[in-house]
């Protein structure tokens, strides 16, 4: 029987993976606490002390503790430290699910960032959209700005695919700039 | 590519959406529903030429909504969130 193991590229070691081409640097973001909140978001805002609608697509998140809006009744809470509300069902009317292990985060920055966005999605990054959940490089992702960078959350099982896509696209962008 | 307006997110690529059937095609309820009614529910479609009212879902944000669009010109006339109610 043929061994097809060599057909697939080895999954990157996210601890030291970096993609750098002229105008674009992409790296994984490790150590983020991620929680999916579903239900009464206002009640969660009270319980967590983190009120506000959450950033939509391509909006800028501030600080190390923020939320990204996914749907009318769902958001992703991101922080560097332990989250303020425990996972599980809360009688106030919302559920919190720990998804840190389920989602891989990438950060892209550089002068060619808009070129990357243009190749990944058909959305106009200047037009506001309430939800940060969108199709990015053909897969579902959560996309917003953080500082100068673009942050992209994807299901961990799709992270190696997205990395391959980013490698290929970054090379094309760099080649077009010559 | 065509842009569809999600009531929550705004304009998004058509590939982010999934068709959910004719709006107002309510599922029959009860044990004594005649087979003709089930057949209508399952198989009979209006398939209008022109303005159509359809249920769609925006898969990225899970918003179910009624979209009114012209099947000839592809013009989208309106999109309205279902808000847990039933589209008639």
Residues A84 and A73 sit within 8 Å (Cβ to Cβ): no
Q: Residue A3: what pLDDT?
A: 85
Q: Residue A14: what pLDDT?
A: 95
Which of B3, B4, B7, B9 to probe by mutation at the A interface, max A CB count within 10 Å? B9
Query: How many structural domains are present in chain A?
Result: 1
Residues A112 and A150 sit within 8 Å (Cβ to Cβ): no
pLDDT in tens, B10-68: 999 999 999 999 999 999 998 899 999 999 999 998 889 999 999 999 999 999 999 99
The pTM of this model reads: 0.91
Any domain includes A110 = yes
Residues in B touching A121 (Cβ below 8 Å) = 13
Instruction: Give the C-alpha separation, A112 to A115, whole Å.
Output: 5
Helix, strand and coil content of chain A, in percent to the nearest 5, comes to 25, 35, 40
Higher pLDDT, A8 or A170: A170
- Cα–Cα–Cα angle for A43, A48, A52, nearest 5°? 70
CATH of the domain at A108: 3.30.1360.120
Q: Residue A4: what pLDDT?
A: 82
User: Which structural domain range is residue A151 located in?
Assistant: 27-177
Residues A6 and A158 sit within 8 Å (Cβ to Cβ): no
Q: Residue B17: what pLDDT?
A: 97
Say which range, A5-14, A20-29, A31-40, B29-38, has the weakest mean pLDDT.
A5-14
Q: Is A129 on the interface with B (CB under 8 A)?
A: yes
Which of A120, A134, A136, A154 to probe by mutation at the B interface, max B CB count within 10 Å? A134
Complete domains list, chain B, with CATH: 36-88 (3.30.2270.10)
Residues in A touching B8 (Cβ below 8 Å) = 71-72, 130-131
Pairing of strands A103-109, A60-61: unpaired
Any domain includes A13 = no
Instruction: Give the C-alpha separation, A160 to A10, whole Å.
Output: 9
Q: Residue A6: what pLDDT?
A: 80
Nearest CA in chain B to A74: B61
Q: Reply yes or no on whether the pLDDT at A108 is more than 70.
A: yes
Model-level ipTM above the cut of 0.90: no
Q: Residue B86: what pLDDT?
A: 42
């Amino acid at each position: 029987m043929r061994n097809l193991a060599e057909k697939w590229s080895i999954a990157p070691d996210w601890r030291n993976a970096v993609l750098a081409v002229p105008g674009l640097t992409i790296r994984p973001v490790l150590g983020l606490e991620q929680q999916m909140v579903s239900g009464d978001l206002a009640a969660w805002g009270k319980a967590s002390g983190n009120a506000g609608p959450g950033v939509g697509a391509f909006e800028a998140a501030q600080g190390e503790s923020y939320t990204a809006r996914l749907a009318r009744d769902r958001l992703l809470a991101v922080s560097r430290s332990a989250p303020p509300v425990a996972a599980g069902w809360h009688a106030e009317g919302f559920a919190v699910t720990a998804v840190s292990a389920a989602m891989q985060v990438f950060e892209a920055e550089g002068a060619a960032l808009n070129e990357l966005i243009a190749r990944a999605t058909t959305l106009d990054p200047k037009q506001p959209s309430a939800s940060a959940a969108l199709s990015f490089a053909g897969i579902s992702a959560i996309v917003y700005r953080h500082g100068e960078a673009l942050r992209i959350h994807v299901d961990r099982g799709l992270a190696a695919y997205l990395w391959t896509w980013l490698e290929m696209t970054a090379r094309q962008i760099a080649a077009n700039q010559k | 590519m065509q842009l569809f307006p999600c009531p929550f997110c705004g304009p998004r690529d058509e590939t982010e959406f999934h068709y959910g059937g004719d709006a107002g095609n309510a599922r029959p309820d009860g044990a004594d529903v005649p087979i003709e009614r089930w057949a209508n529910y399952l198989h009979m479609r209006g398939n209008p030429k022109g303005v159509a009212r359809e249920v769609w879902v925006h898969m990225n944000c899970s918003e179910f909504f009624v979209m009114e669009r012209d099947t000839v010109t592809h013009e989208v006339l309106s999109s309205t969130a279902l808000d847990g109610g039933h589209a008639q």
